[in-house]
Amino acid sequence: MRIIQIGTNKGNDDLTIIVKNINPSDIDLLVFVEPLSYCNEDIKSCYTGYNFHIENSVISNDPTKEFETFYTSDTYHRLSSLNKDHIKNHGLDTVVNELTVPALSINNLLDKYGVTELDILFVDAESFDHEIIKSIDFNKYKIDKIYYENVHGENHLLHEYLIPLGYEVHKCDFHDGLTNVAELKK
């Protein structure tokens, strides 16, 4: 199995449930992309016993950018985003912090880890899922399953983009009901 998650935060999420049902020796590649390096220890704790990489970067749709401005809240770090308004639009009383973090495109990330075929891409990029997924070079990369949030920004329209690429899209049975999965037809 080859698995990449974009927007890992501290782990202990829906992807964790999927991964924990796979024997660690059956996972050839496990990459967690999380811009907030202070989440690394929690990720390591969550995935004890698994061999994985942590990529402290943000995924940008601009392959030429080396850094991006990223916004986070100390209190609500799970809402961190490239879009400052994403945090504010939740109506929470919090201070929004601005950080400059390393950036790379999804295609550069896949190339960096030698991926041409991926079993699972799990994207939780707080209103940027659609931009990340739409920037994938599907002529170069075969991805069997793509999980993404079906709320925020234009994410709810991703099925219109993925179906013509050969995917079947449906809601997941995860607890929050906010995730879709696009499965490549065999």
**CA atoms of 95 and 152, how far apart (whole Å):** 21
Q: Does 2-61+104-184 carry CATH code 3.40.50.150?
A: yes
For 39: left if phi > 0, alpha if psi spans -120 to 50, otherwise beta; the answer is: alpha
Quote the tokens at residue 12: 């202990």
Tokens (6 digits) for 9: 């935060």
Report which of residues 79 and 17 the model is more confident about.
17
User: What pLDDT, on a 0 to 100 scale, did the predictor assign at position 18?
Assistant: 95
In contact, 128 and 82? CB cutoff 8 Å = yes
- What is the CA angle 31-88-84, rounded to 5? 55
State the amino acid at position 74 in one-letter form. Answer: D
Mean pLDDT of 138-152: 91
* Residues 101, 59: Cα–Cα separation, whole Å: 10
Which is more confidently placed, 53 or 84?
Answer: 53
Distance CA 100, CA 35 (A): 10
* Residue 56, amino acid: N
Tell which wins on pLDDT, 33 or 9. Answer: 33
pLDDT at 73: 79
Task: Map residue 96 onto helix, strand or coil.
Answer: strand
Average the pLDDT over each of 38-42, 88-92, 134-138, 140-144 and give the range with the smallest value. Answer: 88-92
More confident residue, 73 or 81: 73
Cβ atoms of 94 and 117 within 8 Å: the answer is no
Residue 77 tokens read as 């770090």
pLDDT at 5 over 60: yes
Per-domain boundaries in the chain: 2-61+104-184
- Three-state DSSP at 159 gives helix
pLDDT at 91 over 70: no
pLDDT by residue (tens digit) across 52-80? 999 999 999 889 999 998 778 776 556 66
Looking at residue 31, what is its pLDDT?
98
CA gap 131, 139 in Å, rounded: 17
Element (H, E) at 109: helix 106-112
Q: What is the pTM of this model?
A: 0.90
